[in-house]
């Protein structure tokens, strides 16, 4: 087992993120931690395996079965990393990093599919690591996944050691529309020639239309996101920090079948939780529900928003 990534040291705490919109109070890293801590168990209603993202539909998958599409999104990450292009030497393992892992579902899928992989996941939310450790043990992969508590823009991990890295609906939690701090750390961690995969929502214009801008702000504040990246700013930041072969691919139609699960699931979940809590939900849990509906609505503004995959290769 590789030892280079073993988390046997104390890592720096997260720093606040400023909002890109002066019209609302800044969303801080503490807000994000509070949000994910408070709603941690709520995500199990979306996915018992804690796949905290949209699904990837392809021919052969039942669009009514959400979990299969969620796992397929994890595998889409694995395919985009192109690790099979450079198989490891006999008896060695390749190390990959999940930057903003949630409860580690993508890492569990990838190491479960490929015995040559060792994954390190990074989150600044302790409860997510506790959930991840329990699920890793149940999946039989605990010896090949390390979960560390750190700010993914300043991980403290050694430079140029990762064979691949990804951020699945997590890069949005970095500050600014270019997410430059996130990009800089990804560039530092990756070996030359290794790939970065980012799947997330992206703004297509710096100044979205009035309704789309309002929805984006409501969604972002409700899910404790400073701002979505602007696609052109993000890809420019990749180029500025030593990435090449940068490509953006829209996944709008791939995620649509899973997104259509939101209205029924969110409504059923809301009614159930209100009943159990006698109509009193905490502020972050209420915002979590609001954001779920906003995500579906925001996806309808095609000129202003897209959900896509960005891939890039660390230059030699």
CA distance 16 to 1: 35
The encoded tokens of residue 126 equal 């302790």
Reported as a pLDDT band with limits 50, 70 and 90, residue 262 is very high
**Region 43-62: what's the mean pLDDT?**
97
Question: Which pLDDT tens digit goes with each residue over 93-121?
Answer: 899 999 999 999 999 999 999 999 999 99
Do the domain assignments include residue 40? Answer: yes
Reported as a pLDDT band with limits 50, 70 and 90, residue 278 is confident
Show the DSSP H helices in the chain as ranges. Answer: 29-38, 66-81, 105-113, 126-139, 180-189, 210-222, 231-240, 252-259, 262-276, 283-298
Burial of 159 (0-12, 13-18, 19+ CB in 10 A): exposed
**pLDDT of 24:** 56
Do the domain assignments include residue 165? Answer: yes
Number of domains in the chain: 1
Do the domain assignments include residue 14? Answer: no
CATH number at residue 137: 3.40.50.150
Do the domain assignments include residue 296? Answer: no
Rounded to whole angstroms, what are the CA distances from 73 to 111, 132, 237, 273? Answer: 14, 18, 25, 28
CB–CB of 165/137 below 8 Å? Answer: no
Question: Which pLDDT tens digit goes with each residue over 175-191?
Answer: 999 999 999 999 999 99
Higher pLDDT, 25 or 29: 29
The encoded tokens of residue 290 equal 């609001």
Q: Which domain holds residue 152?
A: 29-205+226-260+306-314
**Region 31-56: what's the mean pLDDT?**
95
Do the domain assignments include residue 256? Answer: yes
Reported as a pLDDT band with limits 50, 70 and 90, residue 277 is confident
- Average of per-residue pLDDT values in the chain: 91
pLDDT at 158 over 50: yes
Burial of 253 (0-12, 13-18, 19+ CB in 10 A): exposed
pLDDT at 89 over 60: yes
Task: Give the closest residue to 203 by CA, choosing from 181, 187, 186, 225.
Answer: 225
């Amino acid at each position: 087992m590789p030892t280079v990534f073993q988390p046997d040291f104390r890592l720096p705490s997260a720093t606040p993120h400023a909002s890109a919109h002066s019209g609302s109070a800044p969303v801080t890293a503490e807000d994000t931690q509070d949000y994910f801590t408070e709603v941690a168990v709520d995500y199990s209603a979306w996915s018992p395996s804690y796949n905290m993202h949209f699904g990837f539909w392809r021919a052969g998958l039942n669009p009514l079965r959400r979990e299969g599409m969620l796992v397929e999104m994890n595998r889409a990450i694995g395919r985009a990393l192109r690790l099979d292009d450079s198989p490891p030497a006999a008896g060695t393992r390749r190390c990959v990093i999940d930057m903003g892992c949630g409860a580690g579902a993508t890492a569990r899928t990838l190491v479960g599919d490929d015995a040559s992989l060792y994954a390190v996941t990074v989150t600044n939310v302790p409860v997510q690591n506790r959930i991840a450790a329990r699920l890793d043990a149940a999946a039989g992969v605990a010896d090949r996944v390390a979960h560390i508590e750190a700010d993914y823009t300043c991980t403290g991990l050694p430079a140029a050691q990762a064979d691949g890295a990804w951020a699945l609906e997590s890069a949005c939690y970095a500050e600014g529309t270019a997410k430059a701090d996130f990009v800089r750390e990804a560039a530092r961690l990756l070996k030359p020639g290794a790939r970065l995969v980012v799947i997330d929502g992206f703004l297509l214009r710096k100044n979205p239309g009035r309704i789309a801008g309002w929805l984006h702000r409501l969604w972002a504040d409700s899910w404790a996101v400073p701002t979505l990246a602007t696609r052109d700013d993000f890809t420019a930041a990749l180029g500025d920090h030593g990435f090449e072969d940068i490509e953006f691919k829209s996944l709008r139609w791939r995620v649509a079948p899973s997104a259509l699960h939101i209205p029924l699931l969110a409504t059923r979940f809301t009614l159930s939780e209100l009943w159990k809590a006698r109509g009193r939900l905490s502020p972050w849990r209420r915002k979590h529900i609001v954001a779920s509906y906003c995500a579906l609505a925001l996806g309808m503004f095609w000129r202003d928003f897209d959900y896509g995959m960005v891939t890039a290769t660390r230059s030699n």
